[in-house]
Structure 1
Amino acid sequence: MLLRPASTTDLDLLTDLVAEAVNWGGEQRVTAADVPTDDHLVRYVEGWGRSGDVGVVALDEAGEPLGAAWARVFATGRRGWGFVAEDVPELSLGVLPARRGAGVGSALLDGCLGAVRAHGSRAVSLSVEDGNDLARGMYERRGFVVVGREGGSDVLVLDLAEATRSAGARKV
């Protein structure tokens, strides 16, 4: 598996992965065709590549996409489900169903956290739906903590400065 930076040419992939993220439990609640017409879902991809957008795409040995993780900031009036502040990017992550459970999500998360950290953000947020225990565990193992609730999901935040200090302390 190879990680590369997400680019503006990845818009279709990210749109597909928004639907995959919503459909994480196997039930098809939305399709990729629904994303551009859903006022909330489209926020995660509209105008992708704007200032502040960062992300990574995972590719297999043949160069085919396996998934992606990306982060972007939202305005208070047009917030995402994991919104905490206008200066804290919200992370989205999607893995194609056939590749789930093989470490792709963890690699994407780590790669995206590195990109967000390199961009200079102080923290990163996300939302995780009730019942998505595998994703929740992946986030909590990296230091994300619950800071709120939005519908049937918890809002989690990772303090990037604290996470860096903790990682450094473990290496000693």
Structure 2
Amino acid sequence: MTAILLRPAVGEDARFLADMLVEAANWSPASRRPRVQVLADPTLAPYVSGWMRPGDAGLVAESPSGDPLGACWFRLFDQSRPGQGFVAGGVPELTLGVSPLWRAQGVGRELLRGVATVARSSGYARLSLSVDRGNFAQRLYVSEGYVVVHSDDRADVMVRTLA
């Protein structure tokens, strides 16, 4: 794997996080949607809208020359306005996106591991996420300790215990 650098995501990363949300939503070449459509989707927009609010945290992966490669971040949602991977109040929900040229090169794994460390050091005991069935990233999540806790006809909700 090419050397990558992880740095904390900051407010100025909002546009790149939105780019990575679009990449995550467009994981299947058969069902790609334009950026504006993904970001207008009321089930996806809450993952980046108003970044960076209290409780938000994440990491951006960069090449040694500073080019952004991917990002992984988490947000807290509550039961009145849950995210797609909501399991309980106080359990942050994770989003992971990697630029297409950098997929399958370890960037996603490094981001997942780094964000787990950030969440643990922030006092969280678990992380959750939602992943569409058929998304190759699910194998990565399983290999990093995420387990399916709920399924519907389209996606699985997965949780990782951090303790």
Map 1:21-170 → 2, pairs under 5 A? 21-132=24-135, 134-161=136-163
Contact 1:130 1:154 in 2 (8 A): yes
- In the alignment, is the contact (CA less than 8 A) between 2:146 and 2:160 conserved in 1? yes
More deviation, 122-131/34-43: 34-43
Distance 1:26 1:49 in 2: 30
Deviation at 1:151, TM superposition (A): 4.2
1:113-169 alpha-carbon deviations (Å, 9 max, x no partner): 11111111111000111111x3112111121111002441100001111xxxxxxxx
CA distance in 2, matches of 1:128, 1:53: 20
Calculate the aligned-residue CA RMSD, in Å: 1.3
**d(CA) in 2 for partners of 1:27, 1:50:** 34
In structure 2, what is the Cα distance between the partners aligned to 1:108 and 1:31? 25
Deviation of 1:28 after TM superposition, in Å, equals: 5.0
TM-score normalized by structure 2?
A: 0.93
Hey, which of these two has a bigger chunk of helix by percent?
Answer: 1
Off by >3 Å, runs of 4+ in structure 1: none
Distance 1:151 1:80 in 2: 17
- AA paired with 1:92? T
What's the CA shift for 1:108? 0.7
Which whole-Å CA distance do the structure 1 matches of 2:126 and 2:48 have between them?
Answer: 20
Deviation for aligned residue 1:96: 0.4
Q: Which consecutive unaligned segments of at least 5 residues does structure 2 have?
A: none
Gaps of 5+ in 1: 162-172
**Contact 1:18–1:32 (Cα < 8 Å) also in 2:** no
Once the two structures are superposed, residues 79-112 of structure 1 have per-residue CA deviations (whole angstroms, 9 ceiling, x without a partner) of 1111101110000000000110111110111111
